[in-house]
Every structure is written in C-alpha cells, then in structure tokens.
Structure 1
C-alpha cells in the first residue's frame, strides 16, 4: 500500500485515507511521541535545510535540521538545570530566528509546554497571557524583556548571542520521553490585547492529526519548496507553516520582522518556492504593492486561510502565479475541516468556495432548527465531533455540487428591512472598485429598516460624494438593489486582529460608542 504522501489525487484521498495511515508518516506511537523528534531530530543526519528566513531588512538566513536539533537539545538540558519540570509552560516571544526554534523545540523536547507569543504584544497583552498560563520562563529579546517586568514568578531570559553561546556548555544530546497525549503547546487565538482569547491545548499527538490539513489543505508533499509568511505565534504560521512541513522533512520558509509584500515576492523568487500558503491579507498586500511583475516564480501550489479571498485578489493571484489559490478553512479550536486539495488535478476548483471536507470529516450547514439546509440556503456551519454536531460560529451554504461557500461570521450578518445580507459578499463587491484597497462592512442601527449597511473603505483617492455614489452603484449592480451600503466612511486603515483579519467587532463597538455619545 502506498503512503499518503505518495498519493496526489482527490479520488485517492477519498479511497485510501484513514487515521491509521497517518501514523505511517511518523516514528512515534501513542505511547511514545514527541513533536521535536518528529519535526527536527529524525531529519538531522545531514546538512539539510529546515528553515529559510526572509528577514524584513533584506538579508536571508538558512537553518539546518542538525543545528536546530543540537541547540534545542542544549536548551532542553538548560531548562532542566533551571528547575523546569515536564508539563510546565515555557513562553517564547521572538521573531523567527535560531533562538525562536531552539526555544520552541527545546521546550517540547524536554516535555515542557511551549507557548509561542506574538512579538507585537504590548505590556497588557503579555501580562494577561502570562498570568493565565503562568510559565516558569519567558524567552525573548532585549527590546521586549522590559515588558515582563513585575510579572510574578517569571524568569525572563534574553536570547542574545551571549545566551546562545552559554548554551554551548550543555549537552547537545537529549532523549525524548513524552507520550502522545502529553501536553506540548498552548496557543492563544488571535484577539485584542484587552480581551484574553482562550488558550488552545495541543498534545504531541496533534502533529499526527495535523497531517490531514497538511496533505489536503496545503498539499504538502516531499520535494516541495514551501513558504508561509504567517507569524508562528498563530495557528497557521506554527502548525501549517512550521510543524507540518518540518514533520515531513520539507524545507519551510518564513518571514521575520515587519511584513513587506515586495520582500515576500523577492523571497518567493530567490528561494524558488513551489508551494505557498498565506493569509488572504498577504495576497491582497502583494496585489496592492504593484511589485509582483518584477519577479519570476516557480509556484505550483497555493493555499490561503484566515478569511475569504475577494475575487479581484483571486484573479491577481491566478494571473501572477499561473495557479489558482485554494481555500483552507478551519480554526485553531477545531482544526482544518474544508479544503480545496492543492495539487490534485482531478479536483475542480470553484472560485469563491471553501472547497469540500477533508477525508473522513462530516461537515454540514444547519438551519435554526438544527436541520441540514437545502443547497443555496445560508445556515450555520457544523462539524461532527465526538458523537454530536459542533458549531463553528460561521455561516455558510452548500451548492448543488457539494462545495461549501462562506457567508461570514454568525455575528457579521446584516439584517435590513427583513433582508439578510452577508458582510463578506458586500465587501467583495466593494473591492471590485479599482480605487478601493480594503473594505469592511457592518450593520448599523436605522430607525426605519432596523439596520443599514455601512462600509469602511481604505483608498488612496480622496473620499467625496461622487466616489460614494460609484461604490453604491457598483454594489447594486454586482449584488442587488437592496444590498448597497447606504453609508460609506473613508478611513486610513482598518482594525485588524494580530493574525491580520479585519476586526469587524471593533468597528461595531466604535459605532455603538459614537451613537451613545450622540444621544
């Protein structure tokens, strides 16, 4: 029987996938399994490159499996010398770099629980998370270290050159002893720094279940030259951009520092990337940069996540890379459940769709009574887990061919004069205007209609009545006469979550405050 990594078609995925076959891709078993061994140590016999880092300042860096394996073993031994016990959290607040991977894999190697943190957190965001998970140690840089001052029972370690040199005094050998069900990582979902999101708990066995998304969501196969610019502080960047490719012995690429679209485009060229997985925002920023035609690409597979991709950006992607972008839908809590099978020549892509369920998954769209919706009818997206239907808190519809289409978050629905409208669809229509760079739609109170659509638009063109009329007429033409934005506000930027998604809740909250102050 072929390994799952040897199969590329949609038909084979449906016929030959089984959870048991995922275990054939790993050394470990349920009784003994360690993410660091599976991702790093077992691939470290030669000088194969594990990670290529495109730094924002323009320089490139390559880290081998062997260098990460040895240095992470030293860090594991260092943690034991510091009194850290298996099961205790170790936080890492660093950009992609050798110290970051040493901290991440060293912590998991010795049985501690790795807690990757977004480097743009301020003191409140850091403190909330530290007080929640109570790590024994925080590994960070000199710039961020002062943010941790005053946090009780926390040892802050600056991962500078001196510290990395001092690690040389510890053994570069370490024997992993963790079980599959031992906790390996805590990951905070992306939210505002004032609202503490839930910490999602991942065991070492998560690396096995992750392979379903890797094989069918990002289309990873041995021989790929992979890149994911998402921060490894978030689910996409850590699990899909880092752990999944490394577990298969695939070199992965990442971005370090403040994101710059042209820097990414140059890295795609210079690293000869064949498989790119990024957030929709990244693709949109590449489009808006105007720099895509300055470089040459070898892309064969593309995937995106985070939020639906607007059709203008999807057309740009296909024209630029010669490949259509494949949607990958999921959340940190539930994992990836809908994919478009990149690299599967027998899977017809439908622009604008989320694709179809991963092999073995039951996904449906339910109405308010918990019954499956007819094709074309919007309802809540549900996943069958542990003998019951689990809500995703997203709205969707299924077409006649079984493809799922996203209809926004459950709280992003706009109801005006009895009409139910999707913020996502309205935004997609607005973004077809050539002068609009970004857009977000929400419902705002209206005495006559209950709600009306308000769009916040980012544009380099000055906002005036003529521009607003163009936007409104465009939406009327593209969608329907009643779905146009009755209010358009031009803004310099849209609020985003740390993961780069448009934060419509912030916009809704601002409107509530403004209405309260007017009354």
Structure 2
C-alpha cells in the first residue's frame, strides 16, 4: 500500500495527505508512541548506516550510526532509571551536536523524562532564567561550560565526556520505552532575549507525527535524501526539522557543531554530497558573502529556508550557483509550519520571495483590522484558523492573484513616517541589492517632524562616508519610492542576531531608545 513518502506532487499532497496517512509512517499509534523508538531504535538494524553526519567547525567530520546512537541511548535510559529519575522529570542538555548529545536526548525520551535542549552560547542570566523556568533534575553539558552550569542553582550538573559514556557502558544495550503518545517529550524554548523569557513550548511524543507535514511538504524529505540542516538543535528548526523529522523517516541528516563558518559548511555540503538542505536565510546570505562558492561542487535537488525572508540578491545568487529554487517554509515554534513551497513537487511553481501555500489541512487568511479578508496585493495581518477561531501570527502579509502568501514583516516592524506606512523588510531587501551592503537592519526611530524616520544599520566592505550614505539613499529611493529610504544610516561592524540567526530588530530599537533616554537625561 502506498504511503505519503511515495508521493512528491502537489496534487497528490492535496489528495492524500491526511492525519490518518501520517500515522501509517510510524510503528506507534495514537495510544503508544515514543520519539526515540521512531527516530532511532527502529532504524538500528545492525548495518551501521549513518544517522547523523556532524561537520565540526575545526574541520573534523563525525559520523554517527543509528546502531551507535540506539545502543548509547538505551544505556543512558537505564542509567537514568538507576539514578531514580521518574517520568515527567526534566533532563536539560547544553551540548553541541555530538554522540553524548544524541545519546542523552533520545535516552531521556525513552524513560518518559522530558528532554530540554539549551543553546550552548547562553550566558549565566539566560541559562538561569530557563533553569528557573523548567527546573530540570539534571543538566548535562561539556567541560568548558561546567562552571557556568554549576552557577545555576538547582540541577545536578553532569559533564558529558568519555567518563559518562564509560559509566553507562555497564548497562544493557536495549530498552523498552515507557511512554504514551500524549506524554510530554520535549520542552522547547524559542529564541528570545534574557529580559523577556519566552515560555517553553511543551511537545508530546505524538508531535512527531504532525511534524511530518512540515517534513514532507516544507523541506521535501523523502527516503534516499542526503539531508543537512546547519541550525543548532537547541532551537526548533534544528531539532524538529533538522533532526527528528529526517531521522523519523530513516533519512541520514547532517548538522554543524561549533562556531558557524559558511566556508566549512560548503565543504561539508560537497563532501557529504548533500541533496536536500534546510537552513536559515542568514546561512545562505553568509555563504554568498564568503565569495568562496566556486571552490565547491553541489548536488542539490531540494532547498528550503525558514526564520525570515531571503533578500532578492541572495535568491538570485542561489539560483545561479545551486541551480535549484529555494523554498520558503513559514511557521513558529508555537504553531508549527503552516505555509510551504512543496520542494521537489514538479507541479508546484516556486515564486521567488513567496511563503508558498498552506500545508494540507491548514487554513490561513490575510485580514484587515475588522476581520474582513484583504484583497490580493493588500497588506494585512496573517491569521491562522486554529481551534474553531482565528489566531493571529503577529505577522503582516499579502497574497497574490494565484493565492500565494508573501511576508511583509512583523507587526512591530512597520514604520509610519509622515503618514506613510513602510516595511522594514522591504527597505532591507532593497538595500541588500547594493554591492556595498553585506548585511542590513532597518528600524523606525522617533522624529519630531515626521513621527518616525527610517534608520538603517549597515555592514559594508566599504568605508562608511557621507558619499556612501547618499549613494545608498538614492539607490533605495529608486528601487522603492521617493519617501521609502533611510534618512539615517549608521555603519556597524556587525548586527545583533537572535540565536536563530535573524537580525534582532528589537535589540536595535532598544539600543536606540536607551541612547535617546541618555541624551534626554544629559
């Protein structure tokens, strides 16, 4: 009997993709399901087949098999039982991708404990906030982060080194999972600031099943792909779309460990002969800016991205060098992926810059403030039908005549100047077409005459000057409209980023507000 993985066409997705069909992809059912079993154990057949390829920033390649991870995870699960860990207790991990990371992640899930991945670059305040929120019994980290971890009172800190792996080696290499489908499996934190801690999104084991809509139609994963996702598994994209989704389908995935380097990434994509990659917009932009793309060969059949729109200049670069259209995948940790471009579907036209169309079974509209539906081309708020009512995504969007959705920025990224409404995203995209602009962040800043004016923070390979400012202003006005240009330009060496790699406009706004407050006080 055909399964959803046997179909690649958009028309087939509309005709066959149902909740019931998703369950056919797994061993478990609506009562009994365990993520570790579905992603690792059932694919561990003794063949040594690769589960995860890790490209380390220092140039090393590490290949972990399904067999190796399954054995280690079972032993770690027994170790947790021996330590008295009960179902529902939280086990936190602050580790780069590595054998200990996957052993601990999947081992905890088998026992009914809840896995909590934490970003390795958290400072003491960010770590303490999350520890205070989820209250883990154990925090597992590396030797470099051990002192930092011990500064967060509460959890027992375990260093994930060879000693831990040696300690668990005395336990059996198989384990019978203790979970039901609706039991909690993962607490996932979104990428927020330490001052505004986002609440952990709580995922059950059955979340793996609904994730497959994003896997099949957002990243286009199918058996036989050589997959890669450079995003950290501490965040939603790297964990769910880059790790659990491909492994759940028995697909070999790849990831990056250590400080991100776009040239190291391209070498891994060549060496691993990657055919399907899902990355953040920033990853593609950094590869473009490296100037080293000609040094490597690529084997892509499917590409996707998430996090924020890709500027047109980078889209053109992808078309030129990767020869495959890159497909947007829109969603959040809270609502999941809801708009996709169906990578690999020959009967679906990928429109540059578009968010695509709805995942099968989802309903979205662009609405005016009064709740009426916007006309094609009209910008409004993107709304999702969920639980019998309309849920705001906090994003602005528009549709075209063919029903494709386009992102028009966060609701708080709208700039109103002298009565004109402008999009920070549109201005950034236009400025990024200029050869001197490597990165750009745009916000609105207060102005006595106009209410707000546009300020652009620019990373450039040219020396900042009044002449370059005027050049960028004129360039932007020619691309957009006479009123749509940055009246203020500040050249910076780097832009603040969220842990997911997006330009952190809120931090830019906060910095400007602090400067204004200091000036007023003076």
Provide the TM-score with structure 1 as the length reference. Answer: 0.99
Q: Report whether the alignment pairs 1:6 with 2:6.
A: yes
1: CA distance, partners of 2:161 / 2:195:
30
Contact persistence 1:189–1:199 (CA under 8 A): yes
Q: Give 1:400's aligned residue.
A: 401
Q: Give 1:409's aligned residue.
A: 410
2: CA distance, partners of 1:400 / 1:460:
40
1:169 alignment partner, SS class: coil
2: CA distance, partners of 1:174 / 1:214:
27
Q: Give 1:287's aligned residue.
A: 288
Contact persistence 1:415–1:421 (CA under 8 A): yes
Q: Give 1:423's aligned residue.
A: 424
Contact persistence 1:192–1:498 (CA under 8 A): no
2:194 alignment partner, SS class: coil
After TM superposition, give the deviation of residue 150 of structure 1 in Å.
4.3
Contact persistence 1:54–1:254 (CA under 8 A): yes
After TM superposition, give the deviation of residue 209 of structure 1 in Å.
0.2
CA offsets per residue over residues 475-510 of structure 1, 9 Å max, x none? 111111111111111111111111111110111111
After TM superposition, give the deviation of residue 149 of structure 1 in Å.
2.0
2: CA distance, partners of 1:399 / 1:105:
43
Which range moves more in the overlay, 92-101 or 190-199?
190-199
2:437 alignment partner, SS class: coil
The correspondence of residues 245-256 of structure 1 with structure 2, limited to 5 A, is 245-256=246-257
Contact persistence 2:270–2:297 (CA under 8 A): yes
RMSD after superposition: 0.8
Q: Give 2:440's aligned residue.
A: 439
2: CA distance, partners of 1:340 / 1:153:
44
2: CA distance, partners of 1:455 / 1:341:
34
2: CA distance, partners of 1:52 / 1:503:
30
CA offsets per residue over residues 10-44 of structure 1, 9 Å max, x none? 11111111111000000001110000000000000
2: CA distance, partners of 1:320 / 1:201:
39
Q: Give 1:274's aligned residue.
A: 275
Q: Give 2:86's aligned residue.
A: 85
Structure 1 segments (4+ residues) deviating >3 Å: 150-153
The correspondence of residues 468-483 of structure 1 with structure 2, limited to 5 A, is 468-483=469-484
1: CA distance, partners of 2:21 / 2:163:
45
Contact persistence 1:207–1:244 (CA under 8 A): yes
Which runs of 5 or more structure 2 residues have no equivalent in the other structure? none
The correspondence of residues 228-239 of structure 1 with structure 2, limited to 5 A, is 228-239=229-240
2: CA distance, partners of 1:473 / 1:401:
33
Which range moves more in the overlay, 377-386 or 231-240?
377-386
Number of residue-to-residue matches in the alignment:
519
Contact persistence 1:396–1:406 (CA under 8 A): yes
Contact persistence 1:414–1:422 (CA under 8 A): yes
Contact persistence 1:115–1:186 (CA under 8 A): yes
Contact persistence 2:398–2:408 (CA under 8 A): yes
Q: Report whether the alignment pairs 1:154 with 2:162.
A: no
2: CA distance, partners of 1:369 / 1:444:
28
The correspondence of residues 31-46 of structure 1 with structure 2, limited to 5 A, is 31-45=31-45, 46=47
Q: Give 2:505's aligned residue.
A: 504
The correspondence of residues 29-428 of structure 1 with structure 2, limited to 5 A, is 29-45=29-45, 46-428=47-429
2: CA distance, partners of 1:472 / 1:352:
23
2: CA distance, partners of 1:153 / 1:10:
50
Contact persistence 1:32–1:177 (CA under 8 A): no
Contact persistence 2:328–2:355 (CA under 8 A): yes
2: CA distance, partners of 1:247 / 1:428:
36
1: CA distance, partners of 2:61 / 2:167:
25
2: CA distance, partners of 1:150 / 1:457:
37
1: CA distance, partners of 2:195 / 2:518:
22
2:143 alignment partner, SS class: coil
Contact persistence 1:276–1:303 (CA under 8 A): yes
1: CA distance, partners of 2:483 / 2:502:
27
1: CA distance, partners of 2:224 / 2:114:
31
CA offsets per residue over residues 287-318 of structure 1, 9 Å max, x none? 01111110011111000001000011111111
After TM superposition, give the deviation of residue 418 of structure 1 in Å.
1.2
2: CA distance, partners of 1:459 / 1:55:
28
After TM superposition, give the deviation of residue 193 of structure 1 in Å.
2.8
1: CA distance, partners of 2:496 / 2:55:
26
2:284 alignment partner, SS class: helix
After TM superposition, give the deviation of residue 417 of structure 1 in Å.
1.3
After TM superposition, give the deviation of residue 194 of structure 1 in Å.
3.3
CA offsets per residue over residues 209-254 of structure 1, 9 Å max, x none? 0000000000000000000000000000000000000000000000
After TM superposition, give the deviation of residue 177 of structure 1 in Å.
2.2
1: CA distance, partners of 2:253 / 2:505:
32
Contact persistence 1:463–1:490 (CA under 8 A): yes
Contact persistence 1:121–1:193 (CA under 8 A): no
Provide the TM-score with structure 2 as the length reference. Answer: 0.98
2: CA distance, partners of 1:40 / 1:142:
27
2: CA distance, partners of 1:417 / 1:153:
52
